[in-house]
Structure 1
Amino acid sequence: MAFNDTLVVSSDGNPIDVLRACPVLDKPAARLLAERLFPGAALEEIGDLLLADALDPPRDVVYVGCYAGLDLVSSWTLTPQRPSQLDPVVHAATGRRQTLLHAAHGDAAWCSFGLWRDGALVRALSVCTDPGVLEDTGERLPFEADAPHDPAGLGDRALQALMGFSCAGHDRLDDVDPELIPVVAYRVTGAAVSTAS
């Protein structure tokens, strides 16, 4: 699995419970979500993938998965450097109660994650080796306790805690298996969504 990843998950309950159950993909709902995320853009469906292969998409591609109780999106176009700058269109696209963001880039030695409940930002952290902490908003989450702001290690812990699996491939018995979760790929042209950097 790639060290680079970008993932936004919106859910009504615990996303790990939904993902662990190997949810069934709702392709019509995935198409509608992609249209909401990229209003006015041309969307070309280019195939299905598994989440394990969809964490580091090309710039002009978005991977979308919609399931009962949960929606997920993998798109660098939608990923800000600071989680608090996540485009409001992302929150509005699903209307679900909780949103989680996780992103990491190995070459840049950078990771970030964010948590929103009922539209309110609860936690946002963005950190890289140089210049260091870019954003640190809200109280630390349990998995951050006594943890140094090391981008690689923190990013992996955050992915495990928030999404239920690890890019390091720890393969715990109760891990989510991203190789069993299908998503749809769309090539996006003429996107009107702006990203913060």
Structure 2
Amino acid sequence: MGAKTWMLIYGNESISETLKKKPALDRATTVELAKRLFPSETLKPLSDVDLYYTCPPDDELIIGCFSGLNIIAAKEFGIDYPSKLPTQFLDPSLGTTLYLHAMHSTVDWFAYAIWRDGKLQRSLSLSPDSGVLEDIGMKLPFEEPYWNGQHPAIDPEDDDSDYPFVFHPLELAESALLEFFGYQLEGVIDPSQLEPESIPLMRFKRASPWWKLW
């Protein structure tokens, strides 16, 4: 399957620190939030998953509400231009800081964005086929080693490579997971990091009504 995500995480404090404490999943609040954000859809409960599985198919929703933390994974978040996230999801009441994290290993694509109090602070989206799709705001410190060539995508002695970036977007994507949330999906993983499998999430089947009002 490879490493994939398309998710939003809202938090009022350090998300990595909150997740490290293994907060309890609030199932009643999770159901309420799912219905609130997707009011036009019928949501059928399915078996739970965990934080490792935040790349649901188009007809599923993955969501979890914890004290001071909300996690949502859905097709709407796998977008090339994070700054165009639908406004219904820019709700500071769900957390003062909102992160979007999306990546797809098959095409080496990565996108992320950060909003604070509903205002966009940083957005980046890039892949080798499409180039840099979006680059808004100042680069964050965890990005700098990649842009500076400290994690080369190719062997420096390989003069024949035409790879367009000095790093692989997927490697930056894994660093973003670690920087913001305290875990990784692939690569060299420190055993002291959070195990995403330890954070349960609810899963729902999504179905839109077949009728439409004109």
Alignment of 1:111-126 (within 5 A): 111-126=110-125
Deviation at 1:94, TM superposition (A): 4.5
The whole-number CA distance in structure 2 between the counterparts of 1:104 and 1:47 is: 24
Secondary structure of 1:165's counterpart equals coil
How much does 1:93 deviate? 7.8
Measure, in 1, the Cα distance between the counterparts of 2:8 and 2:196: 14
Instruction: Indicate whether 1:23 and 2:27 are aligned.
Output: no
2:77 & 2:168 partners in 1: Cα distance?
Answer: 24
2: distance between equivalents of 1:5 and 1:94? Answer: 24
In structure 1, the partner of 2:7 is 7
| Structure 2 match to 1:70 | 69
Q: String of CA shifts for 1:168-192, please: whole Å, max 9, x gaps.
A: 153325422211100000111118x
SS of 1:25's equivalent?
Answer: coil
Deviations 1:68-122 (A, max 9, x none): 0000011123332211111111122853200011110111221001111111111
The structure having more radius of gyration, on CA atoms, is 2
Contact kept, 8 Å, 1:101 with 1:114, in 2: the verdict is: yes
Alpha-carbon distance in 2 for matches of 1:37, 1:153: 31
Per-residue CA distance 1:103-150 (angstroms, 9 max, x = gap)? 101112210011111111110000001121000000011100131353
Amino acid corresponding to residue 74 of structure 2 in structure 1: S
Letter in 1 for 2:97: Q
Query: Which stretch shows the higher mean deviation, 121-130 or 73-82?
Result: 73-82
Kindly provide the amino acid, as one letter, of the partner of residue 9 in structure 1. Answer: I
In 2, Cα distance between equivalents of 1:170 and 1:62:
29
Separation of aligned partners in 2, 1:36 and 1:80: 22
Distance 2:92 2:57 in 1: 22
Name the counterpart of 1:38.
Answer: 38
Higher relative contact order (CA 8 A, sep 6+): 1
Q: Please give the TM-score of this superposition, normalised by the length of structure 2.
A: 0.83
Aligned to 1:195: none
What is the 5 A alignment of 1:6-155?
6-52=6-52, 54-92=53-91, 94-148=93-147, 150-155=168-173
For structure 1, the residue ranges without an aligned partner over 5 or more in a row are 192-197
Once the two structures are overlaid, the 10-residue window that deviates more, 67-76 or 30-39, is 30-39
TM-score, scaled relative to structure 1: 0.90
Q: Which residues of structure 2 form unaligned runs of 5+?
A: 148-166, 210-214
Q: Distance in 1 between matches of 2:77 and 2:44?
A: 18
Q: Does the CA-based 8 Å contact 2:92-2:117 persist in structure 1?
A: no
| Runs of 4+ more than 3 Å apart | none
Contact 1:33 1:94 in 2 (8 A): no
User: 2:91 aligns to what SS in structure 1?
Assistant: helix
Distance 2:145 2:135 in 1: 15
CA displacement 1:27-62 (0-9 Å, x = unmatched): 11111111122121111111211222x222111101
Q: Select 2:179's aligned residue among 161, 166, 174.
A: 161
- Change in Cα spacing, 1:2 to 1:74, as seen in structure 2 (3 Å) is farther
Identity rate of aligned residues, in percent?
31
